[in-house]
Amino acid sequence: MNTRKLSYVFFSLGLVLLLSGGFSSFFMGLKNDHQEVLRRMDSVSLTFEGFSTNVTAFEEARDELYNDVLGNVYYETMFSTDQEVKQKIADYEKLVTEIDQQVKDLDSLCGKVYYPDAGANQQCENYKSIYEQVINYFISDLHTYNDNVQKYNEYQKAIHGNQLVDEYKIKWKYIDYNQDGIFDGKE
């Protein structure tokens, strides 16, 4: 009879240890998941901050490009300023490339995740529309530049000139990144 009681005690003790280990593992996993969510929300916030900074730089570069190049096209100086203009456009494109990389980072952080923080969710929602506008404005700007180059080259051919300017080649296409059926920023 003693062995039976002893077996029952060991079985009960084993069951209690097993259950407490299971509960402990569950709560430690829950704590780790919570810490991971907080870390990801911090990453979203930090990445979005860098994204916003680059978008502001993009807007400034766009204004400068319009003030210096696209808003003041003169056939008399187009050939002589071509390299300088192309460098400005290359710098402008570099900003777009940086923004594109940050969007890939935000895509991996946001995906189909809903965070317990409204700010993180708002950032995950907003970057798509902003990115769409950036890309579409950029493409529109380059189309404007290339249209000016085409008109200039036609003018040069009409006067039998030989100071032709090459168009700026782009790999980008208009996008509907937030998939709302509207190409925000396409002018």
- Residue 34's pLDDT band (cuts 50, 70, 90): low
Whether 27 shows a pLDDT value over 70: the answer reads: no
CATH fold of 40-158, please?
Methane Monooxygenase Hydroxylase; Chain G, domain 1 (1.20.58)
pLDDT tens digit sequence for 81-132? 899 999 999 999 999 999 999 999 999 888 887 788 888 888 888 899 899 9
Q: Which residue has the tokens 């923080």?
A: 117
- pLDDT at res. 33: 62
Q: Which residues contact 50 (CB under 8 A, 6 or more apart)?
A: 102
Model-level pTM?
A: 0.78
User: Which amino acid does the sequence have at 80?
Assistant: S
- pLDDT at res. 168: 93
- pLDDT at res. 62: 92
Q: To 5 degrees, how large is the angle CA 111–CA 115–CA 120?
A: 85
- pLDDT at res. 56: 95
- SS3 of 146-166: the string is HHHHHHHHHHHHHCCCCCCCC
pLDDT tens digit sequence for 149-178? 999 999 999 998 889 999 999 888 888 887
Domain residue ranges of the chain, discontinuous segments joined by +: 40-158
Mean of the pLDDT values across residues 144-151? Answer: 92
Of 52-66, 71-85, 109-123, which has the strongest mean pLDDT?
52-66
- pLDDT at res. 31: 61
- pLDDT at res. 5: 77
The whole-chain average pLDDT of the chain stands at 84
Residue pair 64/88 in contact (Cβ under 8 Å)? The answer is yes
